[in-house]
């Protein structure tokens, strides 16, 4: 049985926003999605327009790889993931001058994007405590037809990030 027969093809991206940057990073995998070892993170200014945001999102989704565990069993190893995550965290903290993780994450908004079966779904998360997250109920998730229009994709992504931020602020986080 091939990967596409037992699990539908999907592409993912991870988006983070603070008062200093927006990062858009492709994620790869099968059921368990992870950043690549040398993941090509796209950094944008926090006030990037919808077209810039949409281009970064669509490029990251296009770079996302569907990796079946039988094809590359080392990809899902927790040590590999932990190392990739630490590198990514150190990169944005150094790049944007964050001195502590608490400072870096206290205003961060986060969402994950999945493209599959002709649709783009944006899953929203809100800060729970510094450095931890919880998903919002599925109703606020944004689902739209897959598009190649960067402005449309960017506007949907901005809306998702703003909804996540509003939810965090409403909870006093």
**Phi and psi, residue 97, nearest 5°:** 75, 25
Q: Which band of pLDDT confidence, cut at 50, 70 and 90, is reported for residue 151?
A: very high
Give the count of domains, the chain.
Answer: 1
**Phi and psi, residue 77, nearest 5°:** -65, 135
Torsion, CA 16, CA 120, CA 39, CA 136, rounded to 10 = 40
Mean pLDDT of 126-133: 61
Which CATH number do you get for residue 124?
A: 3.40.1590.10
Range of the domain at 45: 3-170
Answer whether residue 72 shows pLDDT above 70: yes
> Which comes out higher in pLDDT, residue 165 or 156?
156
User: For residue 39, what are its two tokens?
Assistant: 């993941």
Answer whether residue 23 shows pLDDT above 60: yes
CA–CA separation, 118 and 6 (whole Å): 18
The answer, as to whether pTM is greater than 0.75, is: yes
CA–CA separation, 76 and 63 (whole Å): 18
């Amino acid at each position: 049985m091939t990967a596409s027969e037992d699990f539908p093809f999907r592409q993912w991206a991870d988006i983070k926003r603070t008062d200093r940057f927006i990062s858009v990073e492709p994620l790869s995998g099968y059921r368990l999605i992870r950043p690549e070892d040398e993941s090509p993170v796209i950094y944008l200014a926090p006030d990037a327009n919808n077209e810039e945001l949409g281009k970064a999102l669509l490029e990251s989704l296009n770079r996302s790889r569907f990796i079946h565990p039988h094809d590359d069993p080392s990809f899902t190893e927790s040590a590999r993931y932990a190392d990739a995550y630490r590198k990514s965290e150190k990169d944005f903290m150094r790049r944007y001058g964050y001195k502590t993780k608490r400072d870096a994450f206290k205003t961060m908004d986060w969402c994950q994007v999945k493209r599959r079966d002709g649709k783009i779904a944006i899953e929203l998360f809100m800060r729970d405590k510094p450095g931890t997250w919880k998903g919002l109920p599925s109703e606020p998730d944004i689902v739209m037809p897959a598009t190649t229009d960067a402005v449309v994709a960017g506007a949907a992504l901005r809306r998702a990030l703003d909804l996540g931020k509003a939810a965090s602020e409403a909870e006093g986080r």
